[in-house]
Amino acid sequence: MSKLWGGRFTKQTNRLVEQYTASIGFDKALAEEDVQGSLAHVTMLGKCGILPEEDMEKIKEGLQAVLGKIRRGELEYSVSDEDIHMNVEKNLIEEVGPVGGKLHTGRSRNDQVATDMHLYLRKRVVEFVGLLHDLQETLIGQAKDNLETIVPGYTHLQRAQPILFAHHLMAYVSMFQRDIERLQDSYKRINVLPLGAGALAGTTFPIDRHLVAEQLHFDAVYENSLDAVSDRDFILEFLADASILMMHLSRLSEELVLWSSTEFRFVELDDAFCTGSSIMPQKKNPDVPELVRGKTGRVYGNLMGLLTVLKSLPLAYNKDMQEDKEGMFDTVETLRGALQLFAPMIATMKVNSGQMREAVNKDFSNATDIADFLAGKGLPFRQAHEVIGKTVLYCIQQNKFLLDLTLEEFKQFSPLFDESIYQVLQPEAVVNARNVYGGTATTQVSAAIGRAEERLAAT
Ligand code: ARG
């Protein structure tokens, strides 16, 4: 089969070279975007008088026919046509005859492939923002059901201060909000049109790039033709955003794995989201969060991979850049898989509030509050800290918790103690005492939920 670029060549391409350089195996994922870009390009060629109206119409009809085949899964891709761009063009020519060969007027595959990638990622941003909204909604739902659930809050994975479980869940809602905003911000740079840059320097045809941008709903056109075909920042940015998002999912995953263990028993993931062991009949493994945690590695890898491909790459297009695709597609699939599973997994998760309460009752996470109590009575906080440190040590030696101490015992450590200390030390009181904006007090967490719901409703 003859090549679209065969004129200059006297020999057939070596079979292994053909296979090695072809990208059709993976860039066929861009088939619809490729046709979409071509439709806008040929319309512009017609409107600018570069192609006769009838040629434009014929090519558009042909492209629509090719698009139909793509959507029905009927398009036959061939490795000898190297990539999606030449596969579509070959099919178009088969469809409408030699006039199809006029489509590529004033265009290069270099600005074409960049355009396809912009069109593709634009859709992914919308998709992932949607999936993140679903996840936020689920987390908010669980938070609302757990406005009275108190759980130890940790630092250094040591019990620190009791918090509402709702507050813990809402922390993730905030993290995913930043992920949403990062993706939305990247959209500004994704939604810029490279087409019209030609191979690198522009084109001799009197094209109208803005007309193409308008048709494809791009907000702007690349300023510099060399930059237009060399730029892959927008993909890097997506991969970086995806890496941060996966990092967030991996932290939540790690917590779910911990909380599902017999040692914690804070939550139980639904049977439908767990798997068993082929040897140990008692096992119920949290495979999904484990795998999300594990797959974070490949998402980081894809970012590092592309950063490395682009490092020191001279302007403008180099074949190296074809390596921008597989990692990006892999990240898209990995992210989609994780996000699609996370929302229903969180929605069906059983929260063991009794076990959480048990943990809170058997710890010293209210110690800060008695230190604050003494400081409130005028003792310098540093001294109060020292006094309570000694009190805690005494409790540990006596195998007691703070609420088990008698007032006499308390008074041994400071004469400032009185009956009200028992109220101050109740987990509810400890939680509700943190009534600052962004704190764990019930009113604050309810307000945070309200704000998050308002944001969601506005989308
Ligand atoms: N398949 C190529 C890629 O993905 C398309 C651009 C090829 N351009 C070229 N001049 N070889 O990068």
Q: What is the ipTM of this complex?
A: 0.97
CATH for 345: 1.20.200.10
**Residue pair 212/119 in contact by the 8 Å Cβ criterion:** no
Domain check: are 349 and 409 in the same one? no
**Residue 154: count of CB within 10 angstroms of its CB:** 15
In a domain? residue 266: yes
Per-residue pLDDT reduced to its tens digit, 388-441: 999 999 999 999 999 999 999 999 999 999 999 999 999 999 999 999 999 999
- Cα separations in angstroms, 68 against 73, 78, 102: 8, 18, 21
In a domain? residue 157: no
Catalytic residue IDs: 156, 277
The verdict on the CB of residue 239 being under 6 Å from ligand 1 is no
In a domain? residue 155: no
CATH for 61: 1.10.275.10
The domain of 125 spans: 110-146+163-203+219-358
For a mutational test of ligand 1's pocket, the pick from 33, 319, 324, i.e. the residue with the most ligand atoms closer than 8 A to its C-beta, is 319
Per-residue pLDDT reduced to its tens digit, 189-230: 999 999 999 999 999 999 999 999 999 999 999 999 999 999
Q: How confident is the model at residue 7 (pLDDT cuts 50, 70, 90)?
A: confident
CA–CA dist 350, 366 (Å, integer): 26
Domain check: are 267 and 380 in the same one? no
The verdict on the CB of residue 165 being under 6 Å from ligand 1 is no
The verdict on the CB of residue 324 being under 6 Å from ligand 1 is no
Per-residue pLDDT reduced to its tens digit, 296-314: 999 999 999 999 999 999 9
Domain check: are 198 and 58 in the same one? no
pTM of the predicted protein model: 0.95
For a mutational test of ligand 1's pocket, the pick from 83, 195, 200, i.e. the residue with the most ligand atoms closer than 8 A to its C-beta, is 83
In a domain? residue 211: no
Domain check: are 435 and 329 in the same one? no
Domain check: are 76 and 167 in the same one? no
Is 78 strand, coil or helix?
A: coil
b/e per residue 60-72 (b: at least 16 CB within 10 A): bebbeebbebbee
Q: 233-260 and 109-145 are packed helices; what angle lies between their axes, rounded to 10 degrees?
A: 30
In a domain? residue 5: no
The verdict on the CB of residue 293 being under 6 Å from ligand 1 is no
In a domain? residue 151: no
In a domain? residue 257: yes
The verdict on the CB of residue 88 being under 6 Å from ligand 1 is no
Q: Which of 358, 373, 389 is the last residue of a domain?
A: 358
Domain check: are 97 and 123 in the same one? no
The verdict on the CB of residue 111 being under 6 Å from ligand 1 is no
* Ligand 1 atom closest to the CA of 199, numbered from 1: 10
Specify the number of domains making up the chain. 3
Q: What's the number of CA atoms in the CB half-sphere (13 Å) around residue 295?
A: 22
For a mutational test of ligand 1's pocket, the pick from 3, 13, 28, 113, i.e. the residue with the most ligand atoms closer than 8 A to its C-beta, is 113
Helical residues (DSSP H) of 261-324, grouped into ranges: 287-310
In a domain? residue 446: yes
Q: Which of 321, 342, 358 is the last residue of a domain?
A: 358
Position 1 pLDDT exceeds 60 = no
Which residue in the block uniquely carries the two structure tokens 């180099």?
318
Q: Which of 358, 376, 402 is the last residue of a domain?
A: 358
Domain check: are 390 and 348 in the same one? no
